[in-house]
Structures are given as C-alpha cells and as structure tokens.
Amino acid sequence: MQHMRSSFAVILSFAAIVCMSPASAWSRVIVDDMVVVKGQKVMLMAETKGKVFSKGGELVEFFVDGKSIGKNLSGGDGVAYKAFTPERTGLHKIRVTSDEGEDTGLLLSLRKGSGIVFVDVEGCLLETLFSRKAREGSQEAVKEINQRSPVVFLQRGLFGVDFTQEWLRENEFVELPVVSWRKGAIFDEVAEEGLEVKAVIGAPKVIESAMEHAPLSFSFEQVEGAEWVGSWGEIGKKLK
C-alpha cells in the first residue's frame, strides 16, 4: 500500500509539472535549438503541426537575428527547410512563423575544433527529479564555465525541450541552446561536424554514452570513468 501511495504521489507531481509547461509547448510551428560550425551551410528546420499530427503545405518564414531569410512550404512530413550559413561565431536567435503561430530557438555557431561542455539538466541541475529548484551555485557556475568554453544543455527523460527551456528561464540560467540527448546521438553528431566533446556533467547513463569521445566527466553520483563531485563550485574550479 505504501508503494502504491508513493507511485501515485510521483504521478501527481509529474502531472502538476506538465500542467505548468509553457504555452509554446502547444505551438503549431516548432523550431529546435542547434549547434553548428561557422561558415558551413546548415538547414534550418521548422515543424508545422495540426492539433495532434504534423501538417504539410504550411508556409513558414524564417528569421535569423531579426532578419527574414525567406519562406518555404512544409512538406508531407510537416517540416519546412531553409538554408543558412553562419558567418560569425556565437549565438544566433532563430524565429519561425506561420499562419498558425510562431516559435523561437537558438543556433550556436562555433569554430571547427571548438570544445563543448554538455550539461545534463535533469541529472545535475535539478535539486531533485520532481523539484522546480536548481542545485545551489549551479547558475553562477554554468555562467562562468560558458565564459571559457561553450556550454550546451542536454534534455532527456520525462520532460520535453519546451519544459526544460522554461525551467531554465525560471531559475535564471544564462540563455544557451537546449538539445535532445537521444541516448548519446548528439555527441556523435557534433564530433562528426568537427567539434570536440570537451566535458560532460550529468547522470551515469549520459556520461557512459559519451565515453568513446573521451571527455572530462563529472557526476553527483558514483559512476566509473567520471569524477564524483559534491557541488557546482567544485566543477567550476576543475574546468578552469
């Protein structure tokens, strides 16, 4: 009976968190954050959706840093594409609009060979799994690390990208890209583009999925191949 009550409490907590997700989670046009190499052409993608399923034949306009770079129709899979070549390093703000709505995202442009620090939001920033509080000192530590090496947030587990982005804003983290972990596929993708997986901070499963790229690894849990840490202050010092 106690186990049933505990499970029910977890379900209620998750339902409450989902209900507090931002309205953008229901947007009919969606753009994802990206990490790319400066000077290399990339395809910006926007997904157009009906109430439930993807919806093709919708006209989408793409904006980069407030300037329109053109329009395109979404195909049968509900995705519209637009080519873009970043000419400078740093963050670009992406906005997509359609007749049904709009969405925004971040594109991080880096020089080839740049090292990225990946931060697992669920595994090292949340105070507890079903808490809306951040670990003590995490905001300032992430900000300081990002001043030395680019930081990218990882989304995984129960919460979608929209919820993760909203949680980061609520807890006053510096604005940085949020990308899906996808069981480690993101590490392979950035490596293929000529970028380095410099460090990974997070849960054991995230660290293990990046092992073949030999990053510096830090965790608040005991995990083989990673350095156990007790605070974000420790991580900040070790990544100086």
Is the pLDDT assigned to residue 21 strictly greater than 70?
no
Find how far residue 204's CA is from the centre of its chain. 18
Radius of gyration of the chain (CA): 19
Mean of per-residue pLDDT scores for the chain: 89
- Which pLDDT belongs to residue 27? 52
Better-predicted residue by pLDDT, 11 or 76: 76
Q: Give the CATH number of domain 115-238.
A: 3.40.50.1000
Where along the chain do its domains lie?
A: 25-110, 115-238
**Common-topology check for domains 25-110 and 115-238:** no
Q: Could you write out the DSSP letters of every residue in 189-219?
A: HHHHTT-EEEEEES-HHHHHHTGGG--EEEE
Find how far residue 223's CA is from the centre of its chain. 23
- Which pLDDT belongs to residue 128? 79
CATH superfamily of 25-110: Immunoglobulins (2.60.40.10)
- Which pLDDT belongs to residue 49? 87
- Pick from 10-14, 202-206, 209-213: least confident: 10-14
Is the pLDDT assigned to residue 65 strictly greater than 50?
yes
